[in-house]
Amino acid sequence: MKKLFIPALALTLVWSCGNKKNYQQEADTYIKEYIQRFQKLYTQSSEAEWASNTRIVEGDSTNAIATRKANEAMAAFTGSEENIKKTRELLEHKADLTDLQVKQLENMLFAAANNPQTIPEVVKKRIKAETEQTEKLYGFNYQLNGRPISTNQIDSILRVEKDLTKRQQAWEASKEVGKGLKGGLVNLRQLRNETVQALGYDDYFSYQASDYGMKREEMINLMRRINKELMPLYRELHTYARYELAKKYKQSQVPDLLPAHWLPNRWGQDWSSMVEVAGINLDAVLRSKGAEWQVQQAERFYQSLGFPALPKSFYEKSSLYPVPANATYKKNNHASAWHMDLDKDVRSLMSVEPNAEWYETTHHELGHVYYYMSYSNPEVPLLLRGGANRAYHEAMGSLMGLAAMQKPFLAQLNLVDKNAKTDEVQTLLKEALNYVVFIPFASGVMSEFEHDLYAKNLAPEKFNQRWWELAAQYQGIAPPTQRGPEYADAASKTHINDDPAQYYDYALSYVILFQFHDHIAKNILKQDPHATNYYGNKEVGKFLASIMSPGESADWRKMLKEKTGEDLSARAMVAYFEPLMTYLQEQNKGRKYTL
CB of 335 to ligand X8Z, least distance (A): 4
- Residue 264 or 387: the one with the smaller Cβ distance to Zn ion is 387
Residue 335 binds what, of ligand X8Z, Zn ion, none (CB under 5 to 8 Å, by partner type)?
A: ligand X8Z
Complex with Zn ion: residue 394 or 452, whichever CB lies closer: 394
Q: Which residue is nearest to Zn ion (CB)?
A: 394
Strand partners, 56: 330
Q: Are strands 258-259 and 477-478 parallel, antiparallel or unpaired?
A: parallel
Minimum separation from the CB atom of position 436 to ligand X8Z (A)? 14
Q: Is 323 exposed, middle or buried (0-12, 13-18, 19+ CB in 10 A)?
A: middle
Minimum distance, C-beta of residue 25 to ligand X8Z, in the bound complex (Å)? 39
Beta bridge partners of 338: 347
Q: Where are the beta strands (DSSP E) in 31-159?
A: 143-144, 147-148
**Considering the complex, what minimum distance in angstroms separates the CB of residue 337 from Zn ion?**
7
CB 112 within 8 A of CB 383: no
The option from ligand X8Z, Zn ion, none interacting with 271 (CB < 5 to 8 A, set by class) reads none
**Cβ of residue 439: shortest distance to ligand X8Z, in angstroms?**
11
Exposed / middle / buried, residue 249 (Cβ in 10 Å: 0-12, 13-18, 19+): middle
Query: Taking the C-alpha atoms of 509, 561, 213 and 513 in order, what is their torsion angle to the nearest 10 degrees?
Result: 0
Provide the annotated binding site for chloride.
Answer: 212
Pick what 353 binds: Zn ion, ligand X8Z, none; C-beta below 5 to 8 Å, kind-dependent.
none
Binding residues: 212, 364, 368, 394
Determine phi and psi for 61, rounding to 5 degrees.
-100, 15
Residue among 365, 431, 450, 552 flagged as catalytic: 365
Cβ–Cβ < 8 Å for 234, 436: yes
Nearest to 573 by CA among 491, 509, 483: 509
- Nearer to ligand X8Z by C-beta: 371 or 506? 506
Q: Cα separation of 291 and 288, whole Å? A: 9
Give the C-alpha separation, 238 to 77, whole Å.
50
- Residues in touch with ligand X8Z (CB under 6 A): 335-336, 361, 364, 506
Binding residues for Zn(2+), as ranges, are: 364, 368, 394
Residue 336 binding result from Zn ion, ligand X8Z, none, given CB thresholds of 5 to 8 Å by partner type = ligand X8Z
Mark whether 365 is an active-site residue.
yes
C-alpha span between 384 and 374 (Å, rounded)? 12
Which of Zn ion, ligand X8Z, none is residue 506 near (CB under 5 to 8 Å by kind)?
ligand X8Z
Partner whose footprint covers residue 361, from ligand X8Z, Zn ion, none (CB < 5 to 8 Å by kind): ligand X8Z
Instruction: Give the nearer residue to ligand X8Z in terms of CB position, either 207 or 506.
Output: 506
- Beta carbons of 266 and 158 less than 8 angstroms apart: yes
Note every long-range contact of 581-586, with CB atoms under 8 Å and residues 24 or more positions apart, other chains counting: 581/232, 581/233, 581/236, 583/425, 583/429, 584/233, 584/236, 584/237, 584/239, 584/240, 584/429, 585/236
CB nearer ligand X8Z, residue 44 or residue 361:
361
| CB-closest chain residue to ligand X8Z | 335
- List the single partner that 310 binds among ligand X8Z, Zn ion, none, CB under 5 to 8 Å by kind: none
CB distance 68 to 131 below 8 Å: yes
Among Zn ion, ligand X8Z, none, the one that 137 touches (CB under a kind-dependent 5 to 8 A) is none
Interface with Zn ion (CB under 5 A): 394
C-alpha radius of gyration, the chain, whole number: 25
Beta-strand ranges (E) seen in 210-320 are 258-259
Question: Closest approach of Cβ 75 to Zn ion, in Å?
Answer: 24
Query: Which residue number, 394 or 489, has a Cβ lying nearer to Zn ion?
Result: 394
- Other beta carbons within 10 angstroms of residue 121's beta carbon come to 7
Q: Which runs of consecutive H residues, i.e. helices, occur in 278-423? A: 282-289, 291-304, 312-317, 356-375, 390-403, 407-412
Residue 37 beta carbon to ligand X8Z: minimum distance, rounded to whole angstroms? 28
Of these residues, 176, 194, 495, 539, which one is catalytic?
Answer: 495
- Choose between 87 and 502: whose C-beta lies nearer to ligand X8Z: 502
CB of 368 vs Zn ion, minimal distance in Å: 6
Give CA angle at 505 (504, 510), nearest 5°: 95
d(CA 301, CA 353): 19
The CA–CA distances, whole Å, from 535 to 32, 483, 541, 557, 594 equal 41, 47, 10, 28, 42
Which residues contact residue 288 at a Cβ distance below 8 angstroms, ignoring those fewer than 6 apart?
A: 354
370-408: b (≥16 Cβ within 10 Å) or e: bbbbbbbeeebbbbbbbbbbbbbbbbbbbbbbbbbbbbb
Tell me how far, at minimum, the Cβ of 560 lies from ligand X8Z, in Å: 20
Cβ-based nearer residue to ligand X8Z, 68 or 364: 364
The residue (of 106 and 211) whose beta carbon lies closer to ligand X8Z is 211
Q: Residue 34 carries which DSSP code?
A: H
Residue partners of 458: CB distance under 8 A and separation at least 6: 449, 452, 466
Catalytic residues: 365, 495
